[in-house]
């Protein structure tokens, strides 16, 4: 009898005996499922957050801030400076002029729908070309605000997460009441968490004179960025930092993503240790229960290696089952779950949806297999090294 068929028949015996020890097996499977569900669940939060921050920021869009400012909130430009930036080489142009938008960025308090407590919602003042600078931005409900009028449009994420942003209602900014006239979407991009109005309207309401906080520019091509950046940094009239929008948002999301990811990994790691102990327990008791059977097989000429491999297969199969259960649980419970959180780097809320990505599922499965491997190895080795004569005497 060859080795492979030995493995097959021992494995088959093992699997057939599962119903007799269903309690122990279920405990192992559910333990592993728990680890995978928590790991994938927590990491899907980080993945969703990161996605919301970085999706659809094409590499040919640049953002310019005052040098030393780490976010739009603390940056500042005069109108003249924004015009110099708009006229720099590398900026794409249309018949109406350069594709660049000077913007203001402030926050207002609005209650979260979920908790009713105040949240910092970003309010952005934009220029007409803002809609062209961003990709795929479109009004999905109502209409765009009229330029120069006290009106706002809200991002679809903001409309979903914060109270009082339905079309027809109005937001209170100081002594002003601004009607919400439309909802826009942008393929899940970060601006969906924002409220938009005309920059001039916001300047007046916030006594900002004719000043702005950031400039976004569409470049002629992704490669034009270096030329654009060099012309800004060499201009003595400006002290600015220019970055690609994609890099800017990746950096803005870094701290939060790191926090969630590191917490997720440490929680899952501890749980995994617990699950390994559970799996070891189950496999050791499996081996104990099958001592006589294994000894008989060894006496009949089955090899020690075959015993080890088949016990490992059994353990890995249980882990696989647990992994699949945990990953599906995480997928159905969390994928697409909408929420919002505070991004401390921009001091404002980001609306996002949990994302259970294929990579995360794969990662969850590999954790499950690792638990199965560690939990199965030692018991399998013990089984293979049983002294045959002594074990048979237990008959």
Site residues for other proteins per CB under 8 A: 23-24, 26-28, 30-31, 34-35, 37-38, 42, 68-71, 73-74, 106-109, 112, 114-115, 117-120, 173-175, 206-207, 255, 258-259, 262-263, 266-267, 270-271, 273-275, 277-278, 280-282, 284-285, 339-342, 347, 349
Closest to other proteins by CB, 63 vs 86, is 63
Q: How far is the CB of 195 from other proteins (least distance, A)?
A: 12
Closest to other proteins by CB, 123 vs 224, is 123
Q: How far is the CB of 95 from other proteins (least distance, A)?
A: 38
Closest to other proteins by CB, 133 vs 319, is 319
Closest to other proteins by CB, 245 vs 282, is 282
Q: How far is the CB of 184 from other proteins (least distance, A)?
A: 22
Closest to other proteins by CB, 22 vs 93, is 22
Q: How far is the CB of 309 from other proteins (least distance, A)?
A: 23
Q: How far is the CB of 347 from other proteins (least distance, A)?
A: 7
Q: How far is the CB of 304 from other proteins (least distance, A)?
A: 21
Report how far residue 395's alpha carbon sits from residue 393's, in angstroms, rounded to the nearest whole number. Answer: 5
Closest to other proteins by CB, 112 vs 200, is 112
Closest to other proteins by CB, 139 vs 337, is 337
Q: How far is the CB of 270 from other proteins (least distance, A)?
A: 5
């Amino acid at each position: 009898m060859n080795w492979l068929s030995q493995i097959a028949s021992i494995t088959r015996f093992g699997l057939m005996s599962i119903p007799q020890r269903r309690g122990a097996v279920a405990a192992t499977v559910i333990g592993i499922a728990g680890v995978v569900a928590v790991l994938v669940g927590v990491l899907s939060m980080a993945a969703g957050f990161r996605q919301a921050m970085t999706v659809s920021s094409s590499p040919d869009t640049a953002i310019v801030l005052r040098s030393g400012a780490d976010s739009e909130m603390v940056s500042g430009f005069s109108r003249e400076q924004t015009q110099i930036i708009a006229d720099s080489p590398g900026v794409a142009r249309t018949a109406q002029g350069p594709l660049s938008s000077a913007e203001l960025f402030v926050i207002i308090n609005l209650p979260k729908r979920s908790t009713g407590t105040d949240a910092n919602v970003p309010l952005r003042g934009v220029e007409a070309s803002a809609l062209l600078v961003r990709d795929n931005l479109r009004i999905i409900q109502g209409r765009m605000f009229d330029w120069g009028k006290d009106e706002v449009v809200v991002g679809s994420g903001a409309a979903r997460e914060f109270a009082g942003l339905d079309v027809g209602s109005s937001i209170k900014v100081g002594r002003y009441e601004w009607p919400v006239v439309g909802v826009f979407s942008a393929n899940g991009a970060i601006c969906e968490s924002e409220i938009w109005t005309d920059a001039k309207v916001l300047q007046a309401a916030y006594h900002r004179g004719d000043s702005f906080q950031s400039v976004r520019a569409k470049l002629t091509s992704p490669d034009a960025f270096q030329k654009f950046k060099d012309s800004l940094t060499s201009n003595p009239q400006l002290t600015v930092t220019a970055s690609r929008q994609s890099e800017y948002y990746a950096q803005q999301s870094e701290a939060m993503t790191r926090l969630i990811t590191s917490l997720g990994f440490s929680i899952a790691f501890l749980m995994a240790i617990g699950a390994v102990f559970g799996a070891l327990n189950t496999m050791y008791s499996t081996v104990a229960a099958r001592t006589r059977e294994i000894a008989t097989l060894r006496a009949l000429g089955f090899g020690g290696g075959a015993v080890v491999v088949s016990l490992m297969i059994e353990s890995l199969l249980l882990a696989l089952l647990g992994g699949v259960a945990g990953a599906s649980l995480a997928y159905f419970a969390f994928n697409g779950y909408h929420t919002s959180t505070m991004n401390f780097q921009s001091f404002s809320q980001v609306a996002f949806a949990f994302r259970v990505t294929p990579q995360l599922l794969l990662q969850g499965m590999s954790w499950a297999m690792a638990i199965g491997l560690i939990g199965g190895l030692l018991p399998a080795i013990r089984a293979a090294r049983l002294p045959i004569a002594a074990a048979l005497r237990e008959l």
